[in-house]
Structure 1
Amino acid sequence: MGSSFAAGPGLPPYVPDAPARCGRSAGNYAQQLAAKRGLALTDVTCSGATTGAVLEGWAELPAQVTAIDADTRLVTVTIGGNDVGYIGNMISASCLTLARNTGSGTEKCRTPSWAEEEKFQQLAAALIRIGTAVRERAPNALLIFVEYPAILPPTGTCAATPLDPADADRLREVERRLRDLTGLAAKQSGALLLPAAKLSLDHGVCDAEPWMEGFPVSAGKAPYHPNMAGMSAVAVALDGMLPR
């Protein structure tokens, strides 16, 4: 389950029967893990999904959690960034900074809409509800919350992250809050946590071997999202968490 960081937009080929707007890659971390382990996978990840899409459904898409039942043995989830505008704001802020630096004009850029504290409190509760819902629907399943990987360096920026220093710091704080809230939800629901932020610390956008796309990107790629190396790294880490 999850949003774009679980779905894999910009990483073709895509799952043939998936909704086009979901950007559900046949190489996302769940797909890779299922192929390696010989698991029967139900992949309901969708780019743009919020916790509401997991719990209640989204337009024509049913609630992701309804894909789980008593026979489910493993559930992975990366969710929450869209609830607080994490990547959307990173893209908007980068667009504005790059446009100003190059004199190309800001007309095509959106203005970041920073989440207030209330949004983070709502997200905290929703993540815990997801854990509870999984436990109720699949009491015998192993539940693993997967953090958002690191994108920005601990300090500063680079050419692939054209951000104002204040915006970069604000986005680091959002990433930290997401990490903390994901960890809290895992703890509250007795789930495992894959610390993807720590795992990817030396593979951010500005590193020599990035697991993330920067900004801007070539056609078909998703800015500030995992590349195939990043997806594979998470799949390998998940595999290491499962019983042999």
Structure 2
Amino acid sequence: MRHRLLAALVAVPLLLAGAPAQASAADPGGYAALGDSYAAGVAAGGYDTASGDCHRSTRSYPALWAAAHHPAGFVNATCNGATVDDVRRDQLPRVPADAAVVTLTVGGNDLGFADGVVACLQPITTDSRCDRALDETERRLREELPARLTTLYGEVRSAAPAARVVVTGYPHLLHTGTVCTIGTDPRRVRFNALTDRLDELIEQQAGKQGFEFADVRPAFAGHGVCSGGSQEWITRFVLTHLWESFHPTARGQSDGYLPAVAAALA
């Protein structure tokens, strides 16, 4: 969720506890991390200034896994706002052919989830606007993303033929069943339902290549926006850094994403 979220929020009024992964007995071979802002660690802080607008964080799950397991090499190609095509064009060429581990988080930007956030979760909006945005998300999920993921996953396997590949899903961003200023409860329910459909598609397509799927939804349960205070592992609207809005916090990375990925690689 990057450029369109930023542009849309500027144009309208205000409108992720588990134990850390344990190091393996032997250092694994090289590790390459691919994906979008959820893999880069946007909103977790501790950004590597050399990564520029990609906003790669030292608190992201790839950085945390690498620090715990000491791979022979670590290539972090993740980038804020990345789509499937961005991963194919800009990130895959950086994967060593002899990589032993590859992780990947991508797909949300292809569906226009940022547009859904703007249309459904800001205070000044309408149900019809929200429905139009999520209808378009559903269309892309049904008609466009399956083929894109099939192509990408095949290219990942070709780029790193011997690697263990873990593909992650996305958490429910929103807690439901509560009174909250972030969207109505029916909108939050529909938003989460679309996340479920996206995760199901990612798992199915990854399985066809023999990749492992890391489901982060159980760890994030009860920690979405509107769960309340310190329980929230997803940021709300971050007015000073709009690109951080609706992303996992440092705890969401360490206690949500990292355990799921570590378990998939165990």
Q: Give the TM-score category using the shorter length.
A: 0.7 to 0.9
Quote how far apart the aligned CAs of 1:28 are: 0.7
Q: 1:111 to 1:176 in 2, by over 3 A?
A: closer
Quote how far apart the aligned CAs of 1:112 are: 6.7
1:149-208 Cα offsets, whole Å, 9 max, x none, are 12122x43543x621344323312321221111111221110001111122112222335
Match of 1:44 in 2: 77
Match of 1:54 in 2: 87
**Are 1:156 and 2:153 matched, yes or no?**
no
TM-score, scaled to structure 1: 0.82
Q: What percentage of residue pairs aligned between the two structures are identical?
A: 28
Higher RCO, 1 or 2 (CA under 8 Å, sep at least 6)? 2
**Are 1:34 and 2:66 matched, yes or no?**
yes
CA distance in 1, matches of 2:204, 2:92: 19
> Contact between 2:54 and 2:79, CA under 8 Å: does it hold in 1?
yes
Moved more, 82-91 or 22-31: 82-91
Where does structure 1 lack aligned partners over 5 or more consecutive residues?
Answer: 102-109
Alignment of 1:127-138 (within 5 A): 127-138=149-160
CA distance in 2, matches of 1:73, 1:190: 15
Match of 1:11 in 2: 44
Match of 1:106 in 2: none
Match of 2:187 in 1: 167
Q: In angstroms, what is the RMSD of aligned CA positions?
A: 2.5
Q: Which of residues 190, 195, 199 in structure 1 aligns to 2:219? A: 199
Match of 1:104 in 2: none
Alignment of 1:72-151 (within 5 A): 72-95=99-122, 98-99=123-124, 113-114=133-134, 115=136, 117-120=138-141, 121-151=143-173
Q: Secondary structure at the match of 1:11?
A: coil
Amino acid at match of 1:84: L
Moved more, 200-209 or 228-237: 200-209
Quote how far apart the aligned CAs of 1:13 are: 1.9
TM-score, scaled to structure 2: 0.76
- Which structure carries more helix by proportion? 2
Quote how far apart the aligned CAs of 1:116 are: 5.5
Question: How many residues are aligned here?
Answer: 224
Amino acid at match of 1:70: A
Where does structure 2 lack aligned partners over 5 or more consecutive residues?
Answer: 1-33
